[in-house]
Amino acid sequence: MVGVIGVVLALGLGQVLLMEPETKEMTQPEAGSSQPDRWKAVHLLVSDPAQMELVHQAIKEVLKPLGVNTIVFEVNYRFAYRSHPELVMEPAMTEDQAKDLTKLCRSLSIRLIPQFNCLGHQSWAETTFPLLIQYPELDETPQIPKNNPGIYCRSWCPLHPDVNKIVFALLDELIDAFEADAFHIGMDEVFLIASDQCPRCRGKDPADLFAKAVNDLYDHLAVKRKKTVLMWGDRFLDDKEMGYGEWEASRNGTAPAVDKVPKDIIICDWHYGRRDSYPSVPFFISKGFRVLPAGWKDEEAALSFLRYSRQFPPDKVLGYMATTWVGADEIARALLKKGNFSETAREAAQALISCMRELKAAAD
């Protein structure tokens, strides 16, 4: 989902919908309204934890006044994990920094949802992330050199008997540090799956393997820990039907997994280009999912996606999420218009502001 950029990714909604996986969804209406509050969500990516004060400032001074009620905070390996210190990627966010952010968001009635990219996105460019460095036996493609020539991102093996125990410990730490009631498991852009290099997965159906990874995570997060699960939707979309291309949709056999996973997973349906229609939205609704559309830095495209999605009822399309795809401190500088930031950050901030203003105006 982030394939078009090559930056910090290397690392890898306040009164809102509260739902338990096995219970009827409860919605909290806005004051004076019988309508549920749409998610006005922003996706942020941890970069330099030393700059978290700036991120706090941007949340207080820009995002909250825009009506933002949800922040998905992508952490991945940049957290001071106690269960697996060997998997910490520096600079790492401390537990105290997570608790400070949690406290701030709670004081502003912003729902804070941590994210850890699962299955895919285990490397970026020439950097392989700690899991597959420390535990190379978990690698789906162990024959590919660790500087990743010729591939996009590594994947872990969804059938390795040791992988879930390690990963679940990390997810549990994030849930506890962020006091989260929901969790985003990533799962986008998994290109390496059912590899001939893997003795466990070779010859198996990619859709079955992808669904197993989702279901294992769901069992831990939703069934055991009673958290709402969010994930990116691209691997569930068959590009032959959708026509989005091989990034936003799947050409590697994973799409049938859409019928093999629980329907109360919230699908973050990301599309960054301008189109007349976005067929994935009614597709996911028809399959029984709730959809959170996610756009990026092309302001017209983001507004186009937002407006298209709003024709669907709010219990099906929960709202809108602005992605940023620069580090959280850089998008904070762009939102606050202070210090240095890239053109990408400026555009992402502008698109975010325009979409949140439109959502806020519609709700007023």
Q: How far is CA 105 from the centre of its chain?
A: 18
CA dist 91 and 95 (Å) reads 13
Which of 200/287 has CB closer to Zn ion?
200
Residue 74 carries which DSSP code?
E
Cβ at position 188, least distance to Zn ion in Å: 19
Which of 110/157 has CB closer to Zn ion?
157
Which of 15/141 has CB closer to Zn ion?
141
Q: How far is CA 101 from the centre of its chain?
A: 18
Which of 162/241 has CB closer to Zn ion?
162
Please provide the size of the chain in residues: 364
> Could you say which of 44, 58, 62, 157 contacts Zn ion (CB under 5 A)?
157
Amino acid, res. 186: G
CA dist 86 and 82 (Å) reads 9
Amino acid, res. 302: A
Cβ at position 140, least distance to Zn ion in Å: 5
Cβ at position 146, least distance to Zn ion in Å: 17
Which of 70/123 has CB closer to Zn ion?
123
Angle at 41 between CA 154 and CA 7, to 5 degrees: 35
Q: Which stretch binds Zn ion (CB under 5 A): 150-158, 292-300, 333-341, 350-358?
A: 150-158
List all residues 6 or more positions away from 193 whose beta carbon is below 8 Å from its beta carbon. 119, 120, 140, 155, 158, 201, 206, 209, 210, 252, 253, 254
Question: What tokens were used for 270?
Answer: 């990301």
Q: Which stretch binds Zn ion (CB under 5 A): 199-207, 268-276, 332-340, 348-356?
A: 199-207
Which of 139/188 has CB closer to Zn ion?
139
Cβ at position 257, least distance to Zn ion in Å: 15
Q: Which stretch binds Zn ion (CB under 5 A): 156-164, 182-190, 245-253, 281-289?
A: 156-164
List all residues 6 or more positions away from 217 whose beta carbon is below 8 Å from its beta carbon. 118, 171, 185, 229
Q: Give, as ranges, the residues between 276 and 295 that touch Zn ion (CB under 5 A).
A: none
Q: Which stretch binds Zn ion (CB under 5 A): 6-14, 133-141, 178-186, 265-273?
A: 133-141
Q: Which stretch binds Zn ion (CB under 5 A): 109-117, 154-162, 241-249, 343-351?
A: 154-162
Which of 159/336 has CB closer to Zn ion?
159
Strands 228-232, 182-186: parallel, antiparallel or unpaired by DSSP? parallel
Question: Per CB under 5 A, does 58 bind Zn ion?
Answer: no
Q: Which phi and psi angles does 269 have, rounded to 5°?
A: -95, 100
300: region left, alpha or beta (phi > 0 left; psi from -120 to 50 alpha) = alpha
Q: Which phi and psi angles does 224 have, rounded to 5°?
A: -80, -50
Nearest to 289 by CA among 252, 255, 315: 315
> Could you say which of 99, 146, 200, 360 contacts Zn ion (CB under 5 A)?
200
CA dist 123 and 3 (Å) reads 12
Which of 89/193 has CB closer to Zn ion?
193
Question: Per CB under 5 A, does 201 bind Zn ion?
Answer: yes
Cβ at position 132, least distance to Zn ion in Å: 12
Question: Per CB under 5 A, does 198 bind Zn ion?
Answer: yes
CA dist 284 and 312 (Å) reads 12
Question: Per CB under 5 A, does 13 bind Zn ion?
Answer: no
| Number of chain residues interacting with Zn ion (CB under 5 A) | 6
Question: Per CB under 5 A, does 92 bind Zn ion?
Answer: no
Query: Applying CB under 5 A, which residues contact Zn ion?
Result: 140, 157, 159, 198, 200-201
